[in-house]
Chains A and B, each alone.
Chain A
Amino acid sequence: MSQWVVKGIRTGIKTTAYPREAESASGVTPGLPVGADLGAQAAALTERCPTHALEQTDGRISVDYRRCVHCFRCARGAARPLAWQPGYEWAGSHGESGLRDGFGGAFRRSIHIIVVDAGDCGACLNEVKQLNNPYYNMHRLGFFITPTPRHADVLLVVGPVTDHMRVALKKVYDAMPTPKRVVAAGACALSGGVFAESFVCAKGVGEVLPVDVEVPGNPPPPLAILHGLLVAVGRRPPVALVSGPSGPRR
């Protein structure tokens, strides 16, 4: 068994410096499109987006991140593609009131998270799973995953909330003691994603539960989810969920 100890020590420290410093390794994020002024070609480009994440007024395109499913149609094969930003701090707060009150100082560095799969495709869940690998190691930030809602402070939901999972999701939420926060991660959880029109899917977690933090992406990379959790505990400010020349949009 000592071989494991030696191997572990020899591997060294691989953990990202985020949130202390930005993570600059490549392949950690797919990025998100940035709204731009494209003039006459804006209309055509807006048509290419399958989930209507792009909206244009007078040639100025704004991107609703909650709907972006990373199909890259606005970047590849388009006459005038949109530029994509390589960030990962995407988490925003839902609604006017922002984050609900009650999550005091004690939760900033120590929370228990319960993860509910409400119909996700597997990628969001896989990205959440990566948070426990040595690269991201969310334990160092005081974030722990718990299987029982009785111990949970934060409910992390992925997936568009299929009809068959509604009851289970609500039960998890009801079983959590207050104060609690809900983080919805992934395009499906925010807007239904590509499944929004399915008759057995809700258009996101917001239809079923009050959501505090929304993390766009399809799937959001682990760093984005981490950012979302930091926003949920108040260690990072929420970010706008819409990008572009036009103002914020519901």
Chain B
Amino acid sequence: MATPALIALLFAACAAGILLCLAVRPAQQGTVLAWTGCVAALAATAAGAAVLLSGEGFTRVLWSLPGLTTLTLRLDSLSAVFVLVTGLVLFPASIYAAGELRGESLRGRERAFTVMLLALYASIVLILIAGDALLFLLAWEVMSILCYLLVLSGRDEENGRQIGSGYLLLAMGEAGTLAAALGFLLLALDAKSVEFGALRSAATGLGANARWAVFLLTFFGFGVKAGLVPVNSWLQRAYAAAPRAFAPVLAGATLNLGLYGILRVNADLLPAAHASTGLVALVVGTVSALIGILYATTDNDLKAMLAHSSIENVGIVVAGSGAGMVFHAAHLPALTTIAFVASLYHLLNHSLYKTLLFVGVGAVETRTGTRDMDRLGGLIKAMPLAALAFLAGSLSIAGLPPFNGFVSEWLTLQTMLRAAELSSTGAKIVFALCGAGLALTAALAVTCFVKVFAMSFLGMRRLDEERRVSEAGPGALAAMGILAVLCLASGVLPTYVIPMLDPASTQLAGASASDVLVPAFFASSPAHASLPPMFAAEFHDLGAQVGQDVLPGRGLVVLHRGGEANPVVFAMSSSYMAVALIALLALTYVVLRLWLTRGRRLSRRERWDGGLRSLLPEMTYTATGFSNPVRVIFDAIFRPTTVEDTRETVAEHFRNAIRREKEHVHLVDRVVFQPVRSTALIFARILAAMHHGRINAYVTYAFLALLIVFALLPTS
């Protein structure tokens, strides 16, 4: 089907859904949402895939406003990647949201929710296929407001906190939009129109200061939506406050829009001429990643933890993009394309596993009534399938093979190592430090998700005895299952994903990622001796020729071709890893069960607890206890303040209670926003001095203002 038709189908599905919504009863809203949402998502996936596979996008003029501008639609490779990812995410998310509509948090508001959600789908795709700045910003505003409304639509969260989070989302979102709009404006100063093509050609003539201004404005402006430090304060609050049905979409689809904005402006429209912008992006990305994962590891609320983890993953994507920008400025197209492919791959992966995890958390919260890891535990017995899918998500986000997180993190780290080919020492040092920072992040991510999975699903059940916990609902299970399979697939088959993402990175870098990372098979005949023999030999040894006649595509090994001295710079095959893992597990099972212990009875005994009469749930590690070492080591970042530390005793000897409570303010809030807030309040107080209610003074102000205006008015 032709791509424009698919896009039209998408919008039609959304419109149909909205209309149907208004017509049917509340009980059937779920069905409407599921069907239309899925159709829209599938259309998006197909459209994105079609563009990427064929390599051709499309451009359409949507509406021509005479005298002002034309609103254009453009679906090129970069947009197509995002559209594809969005489609992949929205499909299971719709199924899950449909199931959740019957839940407590949205009862009575199903209609509003469905309408807003479908409108959001449309606005997201509109942003991605906008071909000019005006349509882009219009769609962005609609999307922002819809996000705000959707965050406030649920009943899960305590009212005050929800309103506060929503307000912060809106306020910071608008500030970001304003900054981005300013950026576009600067870009459009010398351009003929605000259409992206015109902006791109005008950008080549910008001076250094203007470039920096555009970069900073759009980077941090879109960075608000993406959740970069230091403009991430809204994210952890809003994600935690968002209703269960909406959180997966928020994390899986709208987060990417910020990244899209950054990439569109700073990698496509205004490619970096100097390495410094890229280095700024790299550093900001790494810092975000570190701060994000630190707060994720020490947070006990499942949703807030996932929000912080999103900040971490966005940091990794931005770091990869920053590296790409640096390589681009240094005129190293091969490395540029690897960097961009790595960051796009991570973006895809993050969308998949983050949505999976949010759906999982929503399912857990529905069944158990709590999000606090300290109170959960032992859920694997009650919700085995949900636990399995959640495990897949946890393994993916922790970056363990053969799941997808491993591939993209590995590629990103390998990109950092390629800094050896840069000429500037300063840049190399920055790359080294950021590489180390990302490695630390990866290690902390493992800690974090071991804690999450173990504390929620394993161990002893800590919930009240009376609460009956059953398996997650069919909508949640279906959504999680689809996403888990996609996580595994994109982990085991990177050699098929990279060519899929290739057109986008080619557009940004000018070199093909597939050629660099997934070289084609070659026939072993000397006729194809264009390849250096050492490389050919290594290619063989690494198993990259395997499947030459059988497999479509380019083999199962991701490898980066180097020069004479170093024919293969790096290589990896998660496909082989998966096979090896399965083989090892099978072998272990066979050896253990069918040989070493044959003829022996397997008896199941009670767990050893030191000889106690009964091991109680309070005698097991809590999430706080597990992550306490991290809290202590990074105390300088967390800086907790003691709120309470009292002892209640009888006769100074019998202790009834030791009450201790600590609280901490997020590093970014402490370092950035609290000073800004205090300064603003000081100014406000100074200005408030002017508002004293004396009408004589106000008349004086007006008179002074008029004088100034007349003084500045040019005399014609």
Contacts and interface: CB of A to CB of B under 8 A. Distances in A.
Interface stretch (A69-77, A165-173, A210-218): A165-173
Contacts of A23: none
Contacts of A172: 611
Nearest to B607: A175
Given A168-B612, A172-B611, A175-B606, 15 more contacts: A148-B608, A149-B608, A150-B608, A165-B611, A168-B610, A168-B611, A169-B611, A171-B606, A171-B608, A171-B609, A171-B611, A174-B605, A174-B606, A175-B605, A175-B608
B592 to A, nearest CB: 15
A113 to B, nearest CB: 16
B613 interface: yes
A158 to B, nearest CB: 15
Contacts of B608: 148-150, 171, 175
Contacts of A116: 611
Contacts of A150: 608
Contacts of B612: 168
Interface size grouping (class) on chain B:
under 10
Top 8 nearest A-B pairs (CB, nearest first) are A168-B611, A175-B608, A171-B611, A167-B613, A175-B605, A149-B608, A174-B605, A150-B608
Which of A116, A149, A150, A171 has its CB near the most chain B CB atoms (within 10 A)? A171
A174 B611 CA distance: 11
Nearest to A171: B611
A168 B610 CA distance: 8
Contacts, number: 21
A172 B611 CA distance: 7
Interface in A142-189: 148-150, 165, 167-169, 171-172, 174-175
A81 B609 CA distance: 50
A169 B613 CA distance: 11
A174 B604 CA distance: 10
Nearest to A178: B603
12 contacts: A149-B608, A150-B608, A165-B611, A167-B611, A167-B613, A168-B610, A168-B612, A171-B606, A171-B608, A171-B609, A174-B605, A174-B606
Contacts of B606: 171, 174-175
Nearest to A165: B611
Contacts of A168: 610-612
A223 B606 CA distance: 35
Contacts of A167: 611, 613
Interface string A85-127: 0000000000000000000000000000000100000000000
Contacts of B609: 171
Nearest to B612: A168
A150 B606 CA distance: 11
Contacts of A175: 605-606, 608
Q: Kindly name the residue among B606, B610, B611, B612 whose own CB sees the greatest number of chain A CB atoms within 10 A.
A: B611
A194 B357 CA distance: 64
A90 to B, nearest CB: 29
The winner among B608, B609, B610, B613 for most chain A CB atoms within 10 A is B608
Nearest to A170: B611
A168 B611 CA distance: 4
A174 B605 CA distance: 7
Contacts of A148: 608
A150 to B, nearest CB: 6
A165 B612 CA distance: 9
A117 to B, nearest CB: 10
B449 to A, nearest CB: 28
B317 to A, nearest CB: 45
Interface string B587-608: 0000000000000000001101
B536 to A, nearest CB: 53
A171 B609 CA distance: 9
A118 to B, nearest CB: 10
A124 to B, nearest CB: 18
A25 to B, nearest CB: 37
Nearest to B611: A168
B340 to A, nearest CB: 52
Nearest to A172: B611
A149 B612 CA distance: 14
A18 to B, nearest CB: 33
B135 to A, nearest CB: 67
A168 B614 CA distance: 10
B462 to A, nearest CB: 23
Nearest to A175: B608
Nearest to B614: A167
A24 B100 CA distance: 82
A96 to B, nearest CB: 27
Interface in B594-651: 605-606, 608-613
A168 B613 CA distance: 7
Contacts of B611: 116, 165, 167-169, 171-172
Nearest to B601: A178
B606 to A, nearest CB: 7
A148 B610 CA distance: 8
Nearest to B608: A175
A78 B605 CA distance: 54
A175 B606 CA distance: 7
Nearest to B610: A168
Contacts of A171: 606, 608-609, 611
A174 B606 CA distance: 8
A99 B611 CA distance: 26
A116 B608 CA distance: 14
A159 to B, nearest CB: 13
A172 B613 CA distance: 12
Q: Specify which of A148, A149, A169, A175 lies most central, judged by the most chain B CB atoms within 10 Å of its CB.
A: A175
Interface string B417-445: 00000000000000000000000000000
Contacts of A165: 611
B601 to A, nearest CB: 9
A167 B615 CA distance: 13
Interface in B142-185: none
Nearest to A164: B613
A51 to B, nearest CB: 29
A148 B606 CA distance: 13
A172 B612 CA distance: 10
Nearest to B609: A171
A171 B608 CA distance: 8
Interface in A197-230: none
A175 B612 CA distance: 13
B679 to A, nearest CB: 57
A172 B609 CA distance: 9
Contacts of A174: 605-606
A49 B265 CA distance: 100
A167 B610 CA distance: 11
A149 B610 CA distance: 9
Contacts of A169: 611
A167 B609 CA distance: 12
A172 B606 CA distance: 10
A174 B607 CA distance: 10
B243 to A, nearest CB: 46
B600 to A, nearest CB: 9
Contacts of B605: 174-175
A114 to B, nearest CB: 10
A168 to B, nearest CB: 3
A125 B688 CA distance: 80
B598 to A, nearest CB: 16
